Amino acid sequence: MTLHEGAESPLIGALMEPNWLLCLHFFILALLSATLDHVLKPLWYILCRPLPEERPLRDEMLKIRSQQQALSIKDDFAAHSKLQRKFNKLVDQLKSLVQVRLERNVKLKYAIQYSVQAALAVLMLVSVIYFRREPLIVLKQNLFPFESLFSYPSGVPHAIAPHAWVLISRLSCNTVVKAISKINEVKKNSTPE
């Protein structure tokens, strides 16, 4: 079937007066909310680096190990034991430093993650409340039985209001992110080692 001159395309005619900027705004907020763990992952690598105090301990441990390997345990038992005690002491110090770093990183990770989630939620809530009467998309077709739910505060027939668009965006973004995660997990598990 060809379109005659002056006839509307069914795809183009289905949408009337879309507010693409608001649709994009709410979609980006939903996408950020769904992919927050992936977005913040590079930040975790930067913040979770080893403490500066750990490096000299590791270097000293390597030095002691090389000294121990140079000694014969039968011939120089006393020196070997002394180095082993020193090594064990350094291992304990390193373990305590690593434990402190891990506790700090867990607290920092959750503080940042929940702060960003709260900021996104507040921004989304304020945006929905501020633009509640603004129809984002007005369709030609009836949305029965969901029309009153989708267009509630705006009062425009066949419209999709911000709260409905946020719900649609969140559901679609979460579904896509979960599907991509499962695909990556399957690829990772099926890759030969």
Q: Is the peptide bond before 145 cis (omega within 30 degrees of 0)?
A: yes
For 95-127, write each residue's pLDDT tens digit.
999 999 899 989 999 999 999 999 999 999 999
Count of the separate structural domains present in the chain:
1
Note whether residue 106 is domain-resident: yes
Query: Does residue 130 lie in a domain region?
Result: yes
Residue 120, in any domain of the structure:
yes
Scan for tokens 């809530």, then name that residue: 125
Please tell me which residue, 10 or 135, carries the higher pLDDT value.
135
68-77 residue pLDDT tens:
888 887 888 8
Q: Is the residue at 83 inside a domain?
A: no
Looking at residue 17, its pLDDT comes to 61
CA distance 156 to 15: 14
What pLDDT, in 10s, does the model give residues 128-183? 999 888 888 887 777 678 777 777 777 777 888 888 889 989 999 999 999 999 99
Domain membership flag for residue 11: no
Per-residue pLDDT at 10: 44
pTM metric for this prediction: 0.68
Return d(Cα 160, Cα 167) in angstroms, integer.
Answer: 11
Asked, for residue 21, whether it belongs to a domain, the answer is yes
Residue 127 belongs to a domain? yes
Q: Do 182 and 191 touch, CB atoms closer than 8 A?
A: no
Residue 113 covered by a domain:
yes
Range of 47's domain? 16-53+98-176
